[in-house]
Amino acid sequence: MNSSGYPVLSTTGAPITIGPEDTGLEISADGTISTSVGNKGRFDIVSFEDETQLKKASESMFTTDAAPEKADDAKVIQGMIEGSNVEPIVEITNMITALRSYQGAGEFISSDDRLLRDAIQVLTDQQA
Amino acid sequence: MRSLNIAATGMLAQQTNVEVISNNIANMNTTSFKKQRAEFQDLLYQDHRRVGSASSDTGTIVPAGVQIGVGVKTAGVYRITEQGNLVSTNNTYDVAIQGKGFFQVTLPNGDNAYTRAGSFQLSASLMAGEGTGPEHRLSISGRIYDVTRVPVLTRTVRRGEKIGPGDVAVRLVRAESRASGANLDIKDVIGKTPRRALRRGAMLHAGDIQEPVIVVRGKLVTIVLKTRNMVITARGKALEDGAMGDLIRVRNNRSKSTIEGVVAGPARVTIDIPG
């Protein structure tokens, strides 16, 4: 099961089960799981034509109504996990840029406000 | 006055941008997280002077019109699905996908969900009534630990007291929680005495117990001197406490000399002279 406790499916569509006698779990590059007892099935790796159709659910999962297809070029690596693709430095830089834009807009609003106030001031003075 | 509103749309858009970026940063260490980007579009333009409208009755036209935008809006927040770095965990049940693809999991409502977070675990289920009656499958959850059997005192034993067969029980404890030391068997414990007072329920370690003292300091002992062809016994006084097999100092009452001997039994010390 995954870290939320949901069962992981094999290519047969059934959850992958490991018996109490199984030891020495090995996962090959195509996702086949084998133990001392024998073949335990294969991870059902799927991909989607249009990944933008995937809806983000919580707990690192996606849901979609689109039909999945077999993913043949995906490689499975045991003993590793995929980290996030966030690059902290890029994100921080973006954050600073966004912050400056925000400040700039705020600055603009106040100077524009000042401009208007001055204009009104000048105009009313002239009339008087 | 419109300029204020236009600038405000810019601030709103940047706020969305900051929210998206901070979510990215917050999930920096989330397994298989895919970063997101906010994308913006300009808002509709107001025509003040249309391009191509006649500027005079002689047929001249306006080459460039006047169009003023009214701000910006968030067009969308899209996901960047590039591969994340693979991190080695050395855990048998961790799997990463290289390339396009998702693992499939079943949600409690029966739907399938897709994930690239391959930190899997084993779960256990109990099957009751298999083949004999109505079958019942129960999911159980928990963690698996190695356990070892550890002797535990059932009453408080003071120093010098002997641990009897009724004073110890065997308890299962997590293997990793046991302090290092010899794996004590219950047989090894009975008949020993604690080095210090041990409370009820205390786990016994090899360093906590010793052989009971059978030769008491200051008491009379029989000194047995053994050579290959004769045995001499003499009376003496123990200068130290000693358990079975300990080397202690004793004083010969007659010669007043201090010699070292091995405790061989209650009030009995032997000295072996080889050859």
pLDDT tens digit sequence for B111-143: 888 888 888 877 777 767 666 767 776 777 666
Confidence of residue B152 (pLDDT cuts 50, 70, 90): confident
Q: Which of B32, B101, B122 sits opposite A74 (nearest CB)?
A: B101
Alpha-carbon distance values, B140 to B124, B126, B135, B255, B266 (Å): 5, 7, 16, 76, 57
**Mean pLDDT value of segment B81-91:** 83
- Counts for chain B of helices (H) and strands (E), in that order: 2, 21
Which stretches of chain B are DSSP H helices? Answer: 2-26, 186-189
Distance from CA of A54 to the nearest CA of B (A): 9
Which CATH number goes with the domain that contains B266?
2.30.30.760
Q: Which of B190, B210, B230 is the last residue of a domain?
A: B210
Written in H, E and C, the secondary structure of chain A is CCCCCCCEEECCCCECCCCCCCCCCEECCCCEEECCCCEEEEECEEECCCHHHCEECCCCEEECCCCCEECCCCEEEECEEECCCCCHHHHHHHHHHHHHHHHHHHHHHHHHHHHHHHHHHHHHHHHC
Residue B16, helix vs strand vs coil: helix
**How far is B271 from B223, CA to CA, in rounded Å?**
7
> What's the confidence (pLDDT) of residue A127?
66
In tens, the pLDDT along A56-68 reads 777 778 888 777 7
> What's the confidence (pLDDT) of residue B203?
75
Q: Which of B10, B113, B118 sits opposite A63 (nearest CB)?
A: B113
Q: Is B102 in contact with A46 (Cβ distance < 8 A)? A: yes
* Residues of the domain holding B178: 148-210
Residue of A nearest to B115 (CA): A61
> What's the confidence (pLDDT) of residue B144?
66
**How far is B275 from B266, CA to CA, in rounded Å?**
27
Q: Which of B210, B234, B259 is the last residue of a domain?
A: B210
Q: Which of A1, A45, A60 sits opposite B33 (nearest CB)?
A: A60
Q: How many CB atoms neighbour CB A98 within 10 A?
A: 21
Distance from CA of B62 to the nearest CA of A (A): 30
Residues of chain A numbered 41-80 and touching chain B (CB < 8 Å) = 43-48, 51-52, 54, 56-57, 60-64, 68, 71, 73-80
Residue of A nearest to B1 (CA): A116
Mean pLDDT, all residues of chain B: 80
Q: Is A8 in contact with B120 (Cβ distance < 8 A)? A: yes
In tens, the pLDDT along B217-227 reads 888 888 888 88
- Strands B36-42 and B72-79, by their bridges, are antiparallel
In tens, the pLDDT along A90-117 reads 899 989 998 898 888 889 889 989 998 9
In tens, the pLDDT along B228-267 reads 888 888 888 888 888 777 888 888 888 888 888 888 888 8
Based on the domain organization, do B164 and B221 belong to the same domain?
Answer: no
ipTM of the complex: 0.75
In tens, the pLDDT along A29-62 reads 887 888 877 777 888 888 877 777 778 777 778 8
Q: Which of A9, A25, A95 sits opposite B104 (nearest CB)?
A: A9
Q: Which of B191, B210, B229 is the last residue of a domain?
A: B210
Interface A-B: count of C-beta contacts within 8 A: 236
**Mean pLDDT value of segment B47-60:** 79
CA distance from start to end of chain A: 81
Mutate to test the interface with B, among A34, A86, A101, A102 (most CBs of B within 10 A): A86
**Mean pLDDT value of segment B168-197:** 70
The total number of structural domains that make up chain B:
4
The answer to whether the pTM exceeds 0.80 is no
